[in-house]
Amino acid sequence: MSFVHLHGHSTFSFLEAIGKPATIIKKAKELDMKAIAITDYNGMYGMVKFYQLAKEAGIKPIIGVEVGFVMDISTQIPDQHIGNIVIIAKTKEGYQSLMELTSFANKEGVKGKPKIDLQALKTFWREIICFFGGANSRIGKMIALDEKESKMIEIIHLIQNIVGKENVYLEILAQDYTETSESKKVNEILFSIAEKEQIDCIVNNNYSYPAKEDKEAREVALAIKDGLKIYDENRRKPKGQFHIMTEDEIRNILTKNGREKKTINQLIENNTTIAEQITTEIDLNQTLFPNYETPEDVKELYDQYKEGLVVKE
């Protein structure tokens, strides 16, 4: 299996990324990819279409979400402490779990922004894989604040205790260190934690647009979201390359960043291993409604009505 992107965003990340599911699948097909994930921010609005198109193209769809993660949503949390976690579904049951988690995140949240916490994960998790990586992740935020490594490890252990150690990974971002210095700091600390705690790492570049030439269009989307013009100096200008990279591009960046071939091979192999575990199926062409239990008093009233004990007015 060729390289598998396990972390990336479509236009359904609402101006944080561009690229319809159809365009993403088309690009994956051009690159002869056998599987690809979409992990949009805080929602799964494009997942059915993504699933259908991927199946038609002979590509395995990996369904996920990237959502804000805090330890406890009932406590006051400074914005700089709120980072993300990426969750992908392993099975049909995992897909249901993702829907429950995203519903919780959008219903509860912190300061009006979708978030989950440890208790939500404990309540709704089933058949999912979680990973942290990059400056915007929960661990990345802690690294930026120079928090102790022991605190990061504690959070990782808590999540492992909930979803299983085998379902928690650390994510190395394939971004050129000469362009994104923050990636170097985060990656090196994650490698250190992985070695100490015997945690497997994966690698992605967190794609946010399908092709290299779409970079400027994505920056326009970011400016629109922030209420700015493309010529405003203070608009967001993300450093790095966030297109759907080929395996060669991933390898070349990691090599330039000083990683040995053996490590690179293992990272890519771990992505493949995860992709091979995915068996998610979505039931299509039917209407699905939640199963709500009828209250006992209503059942009793209905039984009386059938027996003629209750007169219809």
Q: What pTM does this model have?
A: 0.89
Give, in degrees to the nearest 5, the angle at Cα 270 between 93 and 263: 160
Express each pLDDT in 216-231 by its tens digit.
999 999 999 999 998 8
117 pLDDT above the threshold of 70: yes
Phi, psi of 52 (to 5 degrees): -60, -50
pLDDT at 196: 96
Give the chain's mean pLDDT. 92
Express each pLDDT in 281-311 by its tens digit.
988 876 655 566 777 777 777 676 666 654 5
53 pLDDT above the threshold of 70: yes
pLDDT at 75: 84
What 3-state DSSP class applies to 85? strand
Express each pLDDT in 60-74 by its tens digit.
999 999 999 999 988
Q: Which residues make Cβ contacts (< 8 Å) with residue 24, sequence separation at least 6? A: 8, 10, 36, 38, 50, 210, 244
- 32-36, 81-85, 160-164, 247-251, range with the lowest pLDDT: 81-85
Express each pLDDT in 30-44 by its tens digit.
999 999 999 999 999
Alpha helix locations (H) across 83-175? 92-107, 118-124, 138-144, 149-163
Question: Mind listing the domains of the chain with CATH numbers?
Answer: 11-284 (3.20.20.140)
Express each pLDDT in 104-114 by its tens digit.
999 987 777 89
- Please name the helix (run of DSSP H) or strand (run of DSSP E) that holds residue 244, with its range, or none: none
% of the chain with per-residue pLDDT over 70: 93
Residues 134/124/35/66 CA torsion (nearest 10 deg) = -30
Of 87, 182, 78, the residue nearest 140 (C-alpha): 182
Average of pLDDT values for 136-149?
94
pLDDT at 15: 95
pLDDT at 284: 81
pLDDT at 194: 97
pLDDT at 272: 98
Report the DSSP pairing between strands 83-89 and 60-69. Answer: antiparallel
